[in-house]
Amino acid sequence: MDRAALERHIRDTPVEGSPAEMRAAFLRLAQAGDAPALPQVARVGGCDGRWFGRGGRPVVWLHGGGYVFGGSDTHAAPARVLAGLTGRAIFVPDYPLAPERPWPAQRDAVRGVLDALDRPDVVGDSAGGHLGLVLGLSHPHLMRRLAVLSPNTDRSGQSTTRTRNSATDLMNDDAQDRRLSDMALGHLRDDDPEASPLLGELGTLPPLFMAATTIEVLLDDTLLFATRAGREGVPLTLRVLPDLFHMWHLWPDATPEGRGILRDVAAHLA
């Protein structure tokens, strides 16, 4: 599948409706064709998930999907590629999903995974990036390095790209992002650091890699966070890629930039 075909697939597969309908649509969207063979479900630290690859210090990938959809099945492609690039085993937890299990169920489930794996490296995308940052801020001793791709970091209104880029981001818009956030985090104030990690004390974070794209809704979430983290002395690498939609890395075989950013993540974790 080339970039044009992928963009048609995204437009033809809207993720909308009830939570169950969104989960089914996002799985169709992520797999973009025949369903791949998946590893058996495993249990780590009380949380189910799947391992991709083997060997080396483990890496935990916290999947995106607004805390409402997504899982080890939707993120199999990038997890497999990252396992190949690093020569390490990647565990993708199937943490609890909202609205059935609102926050902090996700945080608590993944903390159990990190406890069980003895300071793994952590990767997170979108909501999974938010989850990685929250855990990195509250429990930095549980992870060695952290890489986040287009994380949600701010609900306090500082971002301008949440509205400005809603028309250009094929995979996300501000209204949908808020709807998903409200299902999981709606009981938190927007200025609570667990909802907006941008407002937390960032200086204790482990070495951090961040990436986003120029036309996605969450661009400012990354830029604002990177600016504050850098000022507070966090060892930081930032990549901003042009003209790509949110979660572009889900299709590393269709977007050279997707495979490229996974190489950058692998280099950060080395």
Cβ contact 110:62 at 8 Å: yes
- Which CATH number is 261's domain given? 3.40.50.1820
Sheet strand arrangement including 236-241: 42-44, 47-52, 90-93, 59-62, 121-125, 146-149, 208-213, 236-241
| Chain centroid, CA 112 distance in Å | 18
Task: Give the mean pLDDT of 25-51.
Answer: 93
In this structure, are residues 79 and 142 in contact, taking their beta carbons and an 8 Å threshold?
A: no
Amino acid identity of 208?
L
Say how many C-beta atoms besides its own lie within 10 A of residue 20's C-beta: 9
CA atoms of 262 and 252, how far apart (whole Å): 8
Query: b/e for 105-138, b at 16 or more Cβ within 10 A?
Result: bbbebbbebbebbeebbbbbbbbbbbbbbbbbbe
> Mean pLDDT across the chain, nearest whole number?
96
Note whether 73 and 27 are within 8 A (CB). yes
Give the separation between CA 28 and CA 34, rounded to whole angstroms: 9
Domain count, the chain: 1
Instruction: Evaluate if residue 1 carries a pLDDT over 90.
Output: no
**Going by C-beta distance under 8 Å and a sequence separation of 6 or more, which residues neighbour residue 63?**
70, 71, 72, 74, 75, 92, 93, 124, 125, 128
Per-residue model confidence as pLDDT tens digits over 40-82: 999 999 999 999 999 999 999 999 999 999 999 999 999 999 9
The tens digit of pLDDT for each residue in 77-118 reads 999 999 999 999 999 999 999 999 999 999 999 999 999 999
From the number of C-beta atoms within 10 Å of its C-beta (0-12, 13-18, 19+), residue 55 rates as exposed
Domain of 221? 3-31+39-269
Query: pLDDT tens-digit profile of 188-237?
Result: 999 999 999 999 999 999 999 999 999 999 999 999 999 999 999 999 99
This prediction has a pTM of 0.97
- Is-contact 126 150, C-beta < 8 A? yes
What's the chain's Rg over C-alpha atoms?
17
